[in-house]
Amino acid sequence: MYFELITIDLDGTLVDSVGDLHEAVNRMQNALGEEPATVEQVQNWVGNGVERLVHRALTQSMDLDADEVLFHRALTEFSDAYEAVNGTRSSLYPGVLAGLEWLASLDTPMIMITNKAGRFARPLLKRLAIDQFFDHQICGDDVAEKKPDPSALLLAARYSAAVPRRSVLIGDSVSDIRAARAAGFASVAVSYGYNHGQSVREGTGTWRPDAVIDSFEELPAVFKRLVVVV
């Protein structure tokens, strides 16, 4: 028996979207008269939703908040820019399509869970032609709290009538792993994502994943090891 529910993160897990995000951040910075960011900076800022990304771009800090007036202006500039470029510089990671096809063959509910707002996440899935794999898509503005809060995962479990301890989240970051642990889900981390410059293989405590993979093509072997016994 495999899992009753499979949940999957978007950016850094399924899709390498940093090219779109980098372009949108730099269009925002240009409109504000600020210095452009590097790809590496934007990659490290990704993972906690658009609002936090904009704060990080404005403050050059992971945790500080920008001036409120500046932030709201910047958020509008970023959102307009990102909507214009969304999907134009993004691609599926190697092995993702084959992995999704294998997961679909299990006939298990599959739900995409992202901190990204639905206005950006859903068109991206459609543009990359993987939206049909998911029974539901839960985005950052569908719940009161984003990952690492477990709300989105628990909502997914309710949607599919799945038991959390028989469910799994596949993600790339500490936020994913902590959300999975808080929800009682198993966690599988991909090694190639955007985990703020940290290796998921070095995770300890609440952000130690149950397994780490280098490609979605490794999922059949990993699922056999993590199989839930009733």
> Going by C-beta distance under 8 Å and a sequence separation of 6 or more, which residues neighbour residue 65?
55, 59, 71
Query: What is the C-alpha to C-alpha distance for residues 18 and 89, in angstroms, rounded to an integer?
Result: 8
* Pairing mode of beta strands 91-92, 110-113: unpaired
What single DSSP character describes residue 37?
A: P
Q: Is the peptide bond before 123 cis (omega within 30 degrees of 0)?
A: no
Dihedral sign (CA 47, 48, 53, 58): negative
Q: How far apart are CA 177 and CA 37, in angstroms?
A: 28
Q: Which of 9, 16, 172, 176 is catalytic?
A: 9
Q: Assess whether 141 carries a catalytic annotation.
A: no
Task: Give, rounded to a whole angstrom, the gap between the first and last alpha carbons of the chain.
Answer: 8
Active site residues: 9
